[in-house]
Chain A
Amino acid sequence: MVGLQHYLILSAALFAIGMYGVFVKRNAIAILLCVELMLNAVNIALAGFSRYVTPAALTGQIFVIFIMIVAAAEAAIGLAIIIAIYRNRGSIDPDKINLLKW
């Protein structure tokens, strides 16, 4: 029997994988993908809570839809910025994005 805790464990695992990817990936687009993974982990948690904690209300599912929309906007602006930096540097490796440091 699949219960709430299964959803939450899956969600926590995905979130942790995404967070790990953000820190170790050597490509800005892969980092963006990992951020998407983190956001979708949240979506799974919200959908799970919505099903098991408030089965009568739709709040959690509406929240998920909003997150998807905003994530799309964020990905659009993120890719645009990455293109801008590629035009400047010819690379999107975060280790080479290092003009600014103290």
Chain B
Amino acid sequence: MDFTLLTPELTLLVTAIAVILLDLFISRKGFLTVVSLLGLAIATVFTFGLRDDLSQAAFSKMLAVDNFAFFFKLLFIGIAAMVIIASTDYVSKFKNFRGEYHALILIATLGMMLMAATTELITVYVSLEVASISLYALSGFLKDGKSSESAVKYMILGAVSSAVLLYGMALVFGVTGKTQIGEIAASIQLSGYSNLLDNPALIMGIVLLVAGFGFKIAAIPFQMWVPDVYEGAPTPVVGFLSVGSKAAGFAIIVRLFFTAFEFPESLSLDWGAIYAVLAIAGMIIGNASAIAQSNIKRLLGYSSIAQAGYLLVGLATLGIAPANEVIGRSSILFFLISYALANLGAFVAIIAISNKIESDEIKDYAGIGKRAPVLALCLTVCLISLIGMLPTAGFMAKFYIFNGAVQNGLLWLVIIAVLNSVISAFYYLRVVKAMWFNEPASLEKVPSSGALRFSLLITTLGVLFMGIVPNLLLTFAEWAARILRF
């Protein structure tokens, strides 16, 4: 039991409790933001402190402290920090519950960090629920009609999906008799199935696992909650769950499927094919539904379904590629950073704009380019990155994912994906057109606070930086993608 390996997570837990307690005693609530950020900074230091201890399994192989977990811990800490900075003004809407808001963000981050590190089915489930339950509460935080409705939909569908996930885990446990994912892999190999259909219980278990995790990453057909939650929940929370919950879902899928179900070859080909089908459905349905949207948060909801589709192309590659090839995994990780930056940037801009115009309708975005040039420019860059055009991160990310897929004989899937990217340009550019070319309703300036501008600047510069000089982060993603099999 070496608790030093858990220091980043424990720091977040202590910070979350401290924030709730401090909330009771201090009157200057801005201090809570500072304390939360401080906690995240300390967690970052501890994460880096563990660098020398990487590549080991802790707590009877329940938790992996490796490159992969290191990467995701930094990603989640970064996302949480951006969200907390971006919600400094927004929290005034939560009146007396600012402490709880910050604490729930921190606990959700803690759950996501554990999700990226767990190597055992029970801890997978518990950490997934730590993240999910905090997010259910967060999405109902405004307590008005829309926010509560989004929370109840998210909670009920989330609970059903975790029941489905558990049934899958129970079947896998029943077939293999193990819950540690390395031991599951060993047990499957020992049993020597030449064909997956030799064991219907195992294939049923894998299908149910795909369905349960599909909910977290907003894959079709488990995406029903996405548009409603994106529209109803508080905007900073939407930004947080859109990138955080998706990244955590992909982290656990990559680790679980790559470690437990990669061998025999026929097994990984099978789940690769499942993900290829889900990818096509996600891209087509996500993009087609996004075209008809008039609310920008809802539009980004459907866009996130489509983005999950592109990421699933990476998972299909992971299933089909030989196990020693790193490109399937590293391109997913690289895409997740680029998606996190672009989507967070877009949501920060939406927070700033809707603070003033009090609307999320695209038609009310008319002429924002004249009223707030910097905000509009940053939002434009982020949307361009979501389309995947030069010179932004989105282009590089899609390029790497599609490149990996083509190398492994998935040319047909890439053609569908590229066609979908072209279609998606239509609805993203509709927002851009409204901002720059439509006549504004008033010429009043849109003010934005320093904190919002800071986080917007960081994300936008990050998007451009990743697009122009991708090597640095690509090397990092490749380094992180070397998953060890515990």
Contacts and interface: CB of A to CB of B under 8 A. Distances in A.
B450 interface: no
B145 A102 contact: no
Contact of B156 (A19, A31, A99): A31
A49 B170 contact: yes
Contacts of B99: none
Nearest to A97: B149
Contact of B163 (A35, A78, A85): A35
Nearest to A52: B174
Contacts of B136: 77-78, 81
Contacts of B179: 59, 63
Contacts, number: 126
Given A66-B126, A67-B166, A100-B231, A73 B133 contact: yes
Q: Could you tell me the dominant secondary structure of chain A's interface residues?
A: helix
Contacts of B231: 100
A62 B155 contact: no
A91 to B, nearest CB: 12
A11 B201 CA distance: 14
Among A15, A28, A45, A77, find the residue whose CB has the most chain B CB atoms closer than 10 A. A77
A54 to B, nearest CB: 5
A78 B159 contact: yes
Interface string B152-182: 1101100110111011011101100111000
Interface string B454-468: 000000000000000
B2 interface: no
A32 B170 contact: no
A31 to B, nearest CB: 6
B170 A35 contact: no
A39 B174 contact: no
A46 B293 contact: no
Chain A: number of interface residues, binned into ranges: 35 or more
Contacts of A78: 136, 155-156, 159
Interface in A17-67: 18-19, 22, 28, 31-32, 35, 38-39, 41-42, 45-46, 48-49, 53-54, 57, 59-60, 62-63, 66-67
Contacts of B388: none
B332 interface: no
Nearest to B165: A42
Given A35-B163, A73-B129, A99-B146, A45 B232 contact: no
Given A49-B170, A99-B145, A62 B122 contact: yes
A21 B52 CA distance: 51
A46 to B, nearest CB: 5
Nearest to B289: A102
B399 to A, nearest CB: 32
A18 B137 CA distance: 24
Contact of B174 (A19, A45, A73): A45
Q: Identify the 10 closest CB pairs spanning chains A and B, nearest first.
A: A38-B163, A49-B174, A100-B228, A85-B148, A42-B166, A45-B170, A84-B148, A35-B159, A54-B177, A88-B145
